[in-house]
Amino acid sequence: AESAHESSSGKKYASYTIFKAKAALTVYPVLPKFCTIGSGNLKMEKNGVVMLVFWPAIATRKYDWEKRQYFALSPTEVGSLVSLGSSDSCEFFHDPSMKSSSEGQIKKSLAIAPINDQSGYFANLNVVNNLNKTNDRLSIAITKAEFAVLRTACSYVLPHIMGWDQVISPEKQTTPKSAVNRPHPDFEWSR
Site for a copy of itself in 64-123 (CB under 8 A): 65, 70, 75-80, 82-83, 90
CB 66, min distance to a copy of itself, A: 9
**Cβ 64 to a copy of itself, closest distance in Å?**
10
What whole-number distance in Å separates Cα of residue 44 and Cα of residue 129? 32
Concatenate the DSSP letters of all residues of 137-168 into one string: EEEEEEEHHHHHHHHHHHHHHHHHHTTHHHHT
Residue closer to a copy of itself by CB (options 133, 168) is 168
Partners of residue 34 on adjacent β-strands? 44
Between CA 78 and CA 87 the distance in angstroms is 17
Sole window of 99-107, 109-117, 128-136, 183-191 interacting with a copy of itself (rule: CB under 8 A): 183-191
> Pseudo-torsion of CA 34, 38, 39, 43, nearest 10°?
-20
**Using the rule CB under 8 A, is 56 a contact of a copy of itself?**
no
User: Looking at beta carbons only, is 43 or 107 nearer to a copy of itself?
Assistant: 43
Confirm if 90 and 123 have CB atoms less than 8 A apart.
no
Distance in angstroms (rounded) separating the CA atoms of residues 138 and 22: 8
Q: Which is nearer to a copy of itself, 133 or 177 (CB)?
A: 177
Is the separation of the CB atoms in 166 and 172 below 8 Å? yes
Task: Select 130 or 165, whichever has its Cβ closest to a copy of itself.
Answer: 165
For the chain, the distance separating the N- and C-terminal CA atoms, rounded to the nearest angstrom, is: 36
> Is 113 strand, coil or helix?
strand
How many residues of this chain bind a copy of itself (CB under 8 A)?
Answer: 93
- Is residue 30 at the binding interface for a copy of itself, with CB under 8 A as the rule? yes
Choose, by CB under 8 A, the member of 41, 89, 119, 132 that binds a copy of itself.
41
Nearest to a copy of itself of 140, 162 (CB atom) = 162
User: Which residue of 97, 126, 155, 191 would you call a contact of a copy of itself, by CB under 8 A?
Assistant: 155
Residue from 28, 113, 124, 191 that binds a copy of itself (CB under 8 A)? Answer: 28
User: Which residues within the stretch 131-150 sit at the binding site for a copy of itself (CB under 8 A)?
Assistant: 143-149
